[in-house]
A and B are shown apart, each in its own frame.
Chain A
Amino acid sequence: MVKAYTQEHIYKHPWERVTSASWRKFADPENKRTLSHVLEVDTLSHKLDPLSGKLYTTRALTVHAPGPWFVRKIIGQDICHCVESTVVDAQSKSMQLTTCNISLQKFIEVEEKIRYEPHPDNPTGWTVCRQQTSIRIKPLSALASMAEKVEQRCAEKFMQNSVKGREVMERICKYLEAESGGIAL
């Protein structure tokens, strides 16, 4: 069982600002209340290729385990680790984030891909964000009967969180815009 969802959103901010906001998305204390499912973010590795202008980063996200409470009871833990790997190409202006869970894989696999690129209609002013989430519930005997329902709940939760994520992104973009006095970033 796999479900995949794609979403597209246009930020009326330049790529530089939107991707800056993306890095700050989980770190800002003010946003922690909105994105309360994310408990901690740690950078595990990063590498800069000074010739091509590519930046590779791996971060660990500690999040509340997905799904309704009875699933958390069954799986015996209430947090879940995800690994987010990001490639930013400063030259061609693209940022791609891939996030997937590394705990609870026995039960569920969630993969989220987000890509930020300059909007073709206004490459210096707008940014298009394409997001694809795929959720796969493992056909585990004990959970098989309710798996479909869980998958639905999970998907709903993810959609809600990505809306919240967008709100946070918009807020940080505005903040960065104000901070720079409307110039540069």
Chain B
Amino acid sequence: MGMSKRGKQDSSTSPCAHLRTAYHNCFNRWYSEKFVKGQWDKEDCVSEWQKYRACLSEHLDNKHLSRFLEAQGIMDSVTQPDLRHPVSDNASGVSQ
């Protein structure tokens, strides 16, 4: 891990840029016009999401990231964000 020398290639989800923009625009609209106003019973942007996600799963070649893509079914773990591994809180040298 970490020592990959492939540099910028790792971020090459650019083939999905159009689909990403379409989804994010749709999501932003849904979030501010519906979700925060109490209409959280259903999601919009389902087709935008499916297209974008299909593209991502094809182009996301970074193993660390695709792990999260596959983890969609078990999203409950997100409630207790443990993205890497537990970090002890009793460390010294905490300032401010």
Contacts and interface: CB of A to CB of B under 8 A. Distances in A.
Main secondary structure of the interface of A (DSSP, over half): strand
Contacts of B93: 1-3
Contacts of B13: 40, 42
B11 A20 contact: no
B71 A45 contact: yes
B42 A50 contact: yes
Interface residues of B, number: 54
Contacts of B71: 45, 58
Contacts of A58: 68, 71, 75, 78
A85 B23 contact: no
18 contacts: A1-B93, A19-B36, A20-B36, A27-B21, A39-B11, A48-B40, A56-B79, A81-B11, A81-B65, A83-B68, A87-B78, A102-B84, A105-B1, A111-B87, A184-B37, A185-B32, A185-B33, A185-B36
Interface of A: 1-6, 15-17, 19-20, 23-24, 27, 39-40, 42-48, 50, 53, 55-56, 58, 60, 62, 75-79, 81, 83, 85, 87-88, 90, 98, 100, 102-107, 109, 111, 134, 136, 176, 184-185
A107 to B, nearest CB: 7
B4 interface: yes
B36 A16 contact: yes
Most-contacted residue by chain B among A5, A6, A56 (CB, 10 A):
A56
Contacts of B83: 83, 85, 98, 100, 102
A23 to B, nearest CB: 6
B54 to A, nearest CB: 13
A163 B28 CA distance: 23
Most-contacted residue by chain B among A17, A24, A60, A83 (CB, 10 A):
A60
Contacts of A27: 21, 24, 28
Given A78-B7, A98-B81, 19 more contacts: A3-B94, A16-B36, A20-B28, A20-B31, A27-B24, A40-B13, A42-B16, A47-B72, A50-B41, A55-B40, A77-B5, A78-B8, A81-B64, A83-B68, A85-B78, A106-B1, A111-B87, A134-B94, A185-B32
